[in-house]
Structure 1
Amino acid sequence: MTRRDREHQAARRLTERHGDEMPKRLAEKFDDYAMGPLDGLIACGDAVRRIREPDQYGVFPPTNDQDVDDGLLLLVRARWSFAVDQVAIIEQARANGRTWEEIADLMGVPVSRAKNLLTQLRKQAMPLS
């Protein structure tokens, strides 16, 4: 089984156990549906945080070791996916005519940081093996 297959299975399990209503419905309707890696990681993080704050209404399933392992499986792909999205947004802003000053202001960072961030993100967004 490839790493990508393992990641998909992890996302699928997290969708079924900890997904919101819409991803769960889609998973019920389509056998192979799973949340994307970033959504899966967020769902896992939410579930893990609930360990410290028990679900007083009994709505959420308890977090188990498999949930944590699934989160670990998705961690790198989710970071990569987030970097790809950030690059796309910044590059589209530039294509739309936004200046670096405007982009930096919208991001809440200095201009040099915005430019450096794009360079760093491009490196992180290199295809995963």
Structure 2
Amino acid sequence: EQILKVHMRRVPLAADIDASVIARGTPGFSGADLANLVNEAALFAARGNKRVVSMVEFEKAKDKIMMGAERRSMVMTEAQKESTAYHEAGHAIIGRLVPEHDPVHKVTIIPRGRALGVTFFLPEGDAISASRQKLESQ
């Protein structure tokens, strides 16, 4: 979180920015990865003619870095969208029901990279070690 804040000093931030939420959602990111995240978020804000960078832009930047750019050229039928939505909802439900599982952060059926959809779980803190039950719940 501290490294992220160093990089965030270079851009104007909206009042809704929560560095701890961003940091928890970027486990394993190096300092360079975090700098890239801030730069991508600033680019999204600039493309949207915004004067400040908000959590929305940070979410878009994180999605792009972690999963790849949106595949807007990929056309999904309504049946494919529905099937993908059920599949991702299943991940979210299981994540909610399994003990010691990280909480659901975001579910999307927007195709990115090789995935048709994805369910994001947000770690509640830095995990240096984990219990057997925690590992099995993942």
TM-score scaled to structure 2, two decimals?
0.22
Query: Relative contact order, CA 8 A, sep 6+: which one is greater?
Result: 1
Larger radius of gyration: 1
TM-score scaled to structure 1, two decimals?
0.23
Task: Name whichever structure is richer in helix by fraction.
Answer: 1
